[in-house]
Structure 1
């Protein structure tokens, strides 16, 4: 359901941008205050560039805000891997100890069988 809502919103935004671009084709002067450069662009181009810059700045800000969470996630993953490795070693040690105990019991029973006969 959420995917459908997102798709509908994206389609509505695309239609709005296209309608804005078609309705605002007249050129406007674009300049950046400290520089002497001036260029003519269609109004829709200024709008789309502003939109893209906003998306990029927002994405970078969001990425930077999530930095701490990503770092904690990586640390947690490393801890899980280390704990799993430690648990695997403990199981292997336990299996070796059990195998050793079985061998010792077998040897004792064999020794008792030989001394009893």
Structure 2
């Protein structure tokens, strides 16, 4: 869309410049005051040079005015790249820790299964006194 608008503006402007040049071929005297020189140049050439100089000067001023913006964009681009690298590093650390945690859980599950298996094969005996949960009273040496 932007390109279409550019063409819609530039083509009529170029046609206007060509028509102007064809209709203004008579000579104009250009007095270069500090140098004490005078030049006879066609009017269309003089105005085309002035128009071109204005376009170039406007471009230079616009480019210089956007210097701070370009600098800020470079800084943001650098900060974004640093953040992307840090994020990649953190994701790698997270993946490593998750793999380590999975390994630990597997070991715990295996140990728990072995413990259950060992409990199932051992016979548990109650206390010899016949009363569960009570320890025999110590006897005094009186």
Q: TM-score, normalised on structure 1? A: 0.84
- Rg: which structure is higher? 2
Show the counterpart of 1:65: 65
Structure 1: distance between partners of 2:112 and 2:4:
77
Normalising by structure 2, we get a TM-score of: 0.71
Counterpart Cα distance in 2 of 1:5 and 1:96: 54
Count, aligned residues: 117
Tell me whether 33-42 or 21-30 shows the greater mean CA deviation.
33-42
Label 1:111 to 1:5 Cα distance change in 2 as closer, same or farther (>3 A).
closer
Q: Which has the higher helix share?
A: 1
Task: Name structure 2 gaps, 5 residues minimum.
Answer: 119-142
Secondary structure, aligned partner of 2:40: strand
Structure 1, unmatched stretches of 5+, are: none
Corresponding residue number in structure 2 for 1:102: 102
- Report which stretch shifted further, 2-11 or 26-35: 2-11
Name which structure has the greater RCO, CA cutoff 8 Å, separation 6+.
1
